[in-house]
C-alpha cells in the first residue's frame, strides 16, 4: 500500500518549483537592480529584490524536505529517478531531431546526457541519493553531541571559507557537498525536535526574507553588490527555507489534485531548463517584459509560469504512463 503524501508538503514543492522559475526569470530578465535603479526606481527595485529573496531558498527547500523525511534509497527508487530524467531529456531530443534538427549541436547533445550546467541539480541530488544510506547511518548512530559538533563544524567551514571569503568555492551551493550539509540540518531538527524553529517557522521565514531584501538593497546601493545575500549557501537563506518548511508541516490537508500536480514538479525543472527548451522559455519571458509594464508584467509573468508548469505536467504524463506500464510488466 502506497503511503499517502502530505498535501501541504506537496503544495510546498509546487510553490518551490515556481520559485525556481521565478529565479530563472530573474536570470533572464535581469531583475536584480543596480545601485542607480534603487535611487531612481526605488519601489520597482525593492519589489524585484523582494521577489528574488522569496524565491532564492526554493532549491534549499527541496533538499530540506528530503532531509526531514529521510531519503530511503532503493534500487527501484534510483531506477525511477533516472528513468524520469532520461525519458524526458531524450523525448525532447527526439522531438527536436524531427522538427528542428538545426537546433542539435555538441552543446545540446551533451545536455541530453546531463553534461550541462543547467542540470547541476540532477547531478547533485543523484549524489545525495546514492550517499543517503551512509548519511542516514550517521544520523541514527551518532550521539546528539556528535551530530551537533558536526553541524557546527560544517557550517563554520561553509560560512567562513566558502560564503563569506570565497577562499574555497564549493560552487556557491550548487553541489553535493552543500546538499549533504542541509540534509543533515533537517535530519537533526527532526530527530532532536528543535522546538523554536518548529513553532515559529512562518515568522522566521517572513523576518529573514525582509532582512535579506533590506541588506541586498543597501549592498547594491552603496557597494554595487548584493553582498552574497541571494545565494543558496547563505545561512540566512537556509534558515528562512527551514522556516517555510516548518510552517507547511503544521498546515496539513489532503488534496488528490495537489498530490497529482506535485508528482511532476521535478519534470518542470528538467523540461524548462533543457538546453533545447530554455531558449524558448527566455523568449517568452522577454516578450512579456518588452510588451508590458508595472503590475501587468507581474500578472503576465505569473500566468506564464503557471502555463509553463501545466505544459510540463502534461508532457510528464507520458513518463508516468510508461513507467506504470513497465512496472506492470515487471510485476
Domain ranges of the chain: 7-330
The total of other beta-carbon atoms located within 10 Å of residue 165's CB is: 10
| Per-residue confidence (pLDDT) for residue 35, from 0 to 100 | 87
Percent above pLDDT 70 for the chain: 96
pLDDT digits (tens, 9 = 90+) for 102-146: 888 888 888 788 878 889 999 999 999 999 999 999 999 999 999
* CA separation for the pair 307, 319 (Å, rounded): 19
pLDDT in tens, 231-269: 998 999 999 999 999 999 998 889 999 999 999 999 999
CB proximity list for 248: less than 8 A, separation 6 or greater: 8, 9, 11, 12, 201
Q: Is residue 60 within 8 Å of residue 232, measured between CB atoms?
A: yes
pLDDT of residue 29: 84
* Range in 154-163, 215-224, 228-237, 256-265 the model is least confident about: 154-163
Close Cβ partners of 239 (under 8 Å, ≥ 6 residues apart): 197, 204, 208
DSSP 200-230: SHHHHHHHHHHHHHHHHHHHHHHTSS-TT-S
C-alpha cell at 136: 542516514
Q: What is the pTM of this model?
A: 0.93
At CB < 8 A and 24+ separation, what contacts does 322-329 make? 322/87, 323/80, 323/83, 323/84, 323/87, 326/83
Amino acid at each position: 500500500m502506497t503511503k499517502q503524501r502530505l498535501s501541504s508538503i506537496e503544495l510546498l514543492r509546487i510553490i518551490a518549483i515556481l520559485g525556481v522559475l521565478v529565479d530563472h526569470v530573474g536570470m533572464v530578465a535581469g531583475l536584480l537592480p543596480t545601485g542607480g535603479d534603487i535611487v531612481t526606481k526605488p519601489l520597482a527595485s525593492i519589489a524585484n529584490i523582494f521577489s528574488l529573496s522569496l524565491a532564492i531558498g526554493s532549491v534549499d527547500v527541496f533538499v530540506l524536505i528530503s532531509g526531514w523525511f529521510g531519503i530511503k534509497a532503493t534500487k527501484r527508487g534510483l531506477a525511477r529517478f533516472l528513468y524520469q530524467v532520461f525519458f524526458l531529456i531524450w523525448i525532447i531530443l527526439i522531438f527536436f531531431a524531427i522538427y528542428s534538427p538545426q537546433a542539435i549541436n555538441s552543446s545540446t547533445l551533451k545536455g541530453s546526457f546531463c553534461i550541462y550546467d543547467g542540470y547541476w541539480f540532477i547531478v547533485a541530488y543523484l549524489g545525495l541519493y546514492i550517499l543517503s544510506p551512509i548519511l542516514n547511518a550517521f544520523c541514527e548512530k551518532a550521539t546528539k553531541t556528535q551530530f551537533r559538533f558536526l553541524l557546527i563544524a560544517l557550517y563554520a567551514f561553509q560560512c567562513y571559507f566558502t560564503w563569506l571569503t570565497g577562499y574555497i568555492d564549493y560552487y556557491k551551493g550548487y553541489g553535493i557537498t552543500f546538499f549533504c550539509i542541509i540534509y543533515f540540518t533537517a535530519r537533526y531538527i527532526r530527530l532532536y525536535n528543535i522546538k523554536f524553529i518548529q513553532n515559529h517557522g512562518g515568522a522566521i521565514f517572513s523576518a529573514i526574507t525582509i532582512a535579506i531584501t533590506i541588506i541586498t538593497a543597501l549592498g547594491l546601493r552603496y557597494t554595487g553588490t548584493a553582498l552574497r545575500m541571494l545565494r543558496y549557501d547563505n545561512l540566512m537563506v537556509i534558515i528562512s527555507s527551514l522556516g517555510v518548511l516548518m510552517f507547511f508541516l503544521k498546515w496539513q490537508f489532503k488534496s488528490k489534485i495537489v498530490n497529482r500536480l506535485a508528482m511532476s514538479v521535478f519534470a518542470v525543472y528538467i523540461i524548462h531548463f533543457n538546453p533545447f527548451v530554455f531558449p524558448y522559455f527566455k523568449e517568452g519571458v522577454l516578450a512579456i517584459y518588452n510588451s508590458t509594464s508595472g503590475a501587468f508584467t507581474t500578472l503576465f509573468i505569473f500566468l506564464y509560469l503557471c502555463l509553463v508548469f501545466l505544459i510540463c505536467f502534461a508532457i510528464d504524463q507520458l513518463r508516468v504512463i510508461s513507467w506504470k506500464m513497465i512496472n506492470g510488466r515487471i510485476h
